[in-house]
Amino acid sequence: MDWMQAMVFERVGAPLAAVELPVPTPTPDQLLVKVHACGVCRTDLHLIDGELQIAHPPRVLGHQIVGVTEPGGRRVGIPWLGWTCGRCRWCRGGQENLCPSARFTGKDIDGGMAQWTVADRRFCLPIPESCEDIQAAPLLCAGLIGARALRMCAEALGPAGTQSNLGLYGFGASAHILIQVARHEGRNVLAFTRRGDADAQRFARQLGAAWAAGSDEPPPEPLDAAIIFAPAGELVPAALQAIRPGGVVVCAGIHMSEIPAFRYELLWHERSLRSVANLTRADGEQFLALAPEVPVRTHVSTYPLERANEALEDLRNGRFTGAAVLVVRA
Ligand SMILES: [Zn+2]
Ligand SMILES: [Zn+2]
């Protein structure tokens, strides 16, 4: 039997354990993939902290995987959505992201913080040729979720090229990709960061934000739409306060702290508040085709696989701008 290195979730609150596991054997529906790079996501922190439950530990985390098939040597991306039933009303209605039986990579099935992984071939995505492994990994969750959230703002923002103000709350991996897409569409982007986070504000301006400040500051003009990436419930009333009548606030995170009570006036005048959940395969194909056109350039801090815990703690403490990616050696 062949063995591999993997970083494994064992229990809530504990760092990931570096272990040796057998190289997985693919079923006929699966591809065996040699992992080259795996992005780190805030969802991984929610899993480690127990804010999202892993039903059957131990589990290999990681759901932004770029690697090559063995055999075949074809480059593929493996995203968060790992399997759906194909039969329920959501699967049949173009909303497989909401399938109640869905299995998610790095949560319900083993992910990419390992030298090898297997994935259902129907859920693997093509990686644009022009994009290197390390640059591509953050597109698979941070990029995809942001793009789905932006689509939910389309009505409030108007067609591409319309003079429109988009607010991004939390300027991490997702926002740094999404701002590039939004600027490509001609949107005016306003970035809201943690209070006093001058690095993130500078980074946002470098990427084309018209304005960047702490999330406690009101924007200079009302927003047409706002996307909340930070997992902080108090941003919901703040964003509702910042949007115009008829505007939308989209919550893009998988977990958020409790939303404080707020006055109905904040929602009145046909403002709307919604969430986005997961992704569909169509989202993946569309976004990965769009990314090289923009072109999206991800800003990446790399760590070797065995330093996954350090990458996660740096993410928790806001120690880098952009995205973190684990580089996996053979
Ligand atoms: Zn289903
Ligand atoms: Zn993610």
Q: In 3-state terms, what secondary structure has residue 290?
A: helix
Locate CATH 3.90.180.10 in the chain.
3-140+279-327
CA of 69 to the centre of ligand 2 (A): 22
pTM above 0.85, yes or no: yes
CA of 44 to the centre of ligand 1 (A): 24
Crossing angle between the packed helical segments 198-206 and 173-184, to the nearest 10 degrees: 30
* 105/212 Cα distance (integer angstroms): 34
Long-range Cβ contacts of 18-22 (<8 Å, 24+ apart): 18/306, 19/58, 21/60, 21/114
- CATH number for 144-275 (one of 3.40.50.720, 3.40.50.300, 3.90.1010.10, 3.40.50.2000): it is 3.40.50.720
CA of 62 to the centre of ligand 2 (A): 8
Query: How much is the pLDDT for 1?
Result: 79
Query: How much is the pLDDT for 70?
Result: 96
> Which two tokens mark 271?
């403002």
Ligand approaching nearest to the C-alpha of 139? 2
Query: How much is the pLDDT for 18?
Result: 98
CA of 257 to the centre of ligand 1 (A): 28
CA of 277 to the centre of ligand 1 (A): 14
Locate CATH 3.40.50.720 in the chain.
144-275
Q: Which CATH class is domain 3-140+279-327?
A: alpha beta
Query: How much is the pLDDT for 330?
Result: 78
Kindly give the parts of the chain with pLDDT less than 70: none
CA of 40 to the centre of ligand 1 (A): 27
CA of 231 to the centre of ligand 1 (A): 27
Contacts of 325 (CB under 8 A, 6+ apart): 37, 38, 39, 40, 64, 134, 137, 138, 300, 301, 302, 303
CB 37 within 8 Å of CB 137 = yes
Query: How much is the pLDDT for 297?
Result: 97
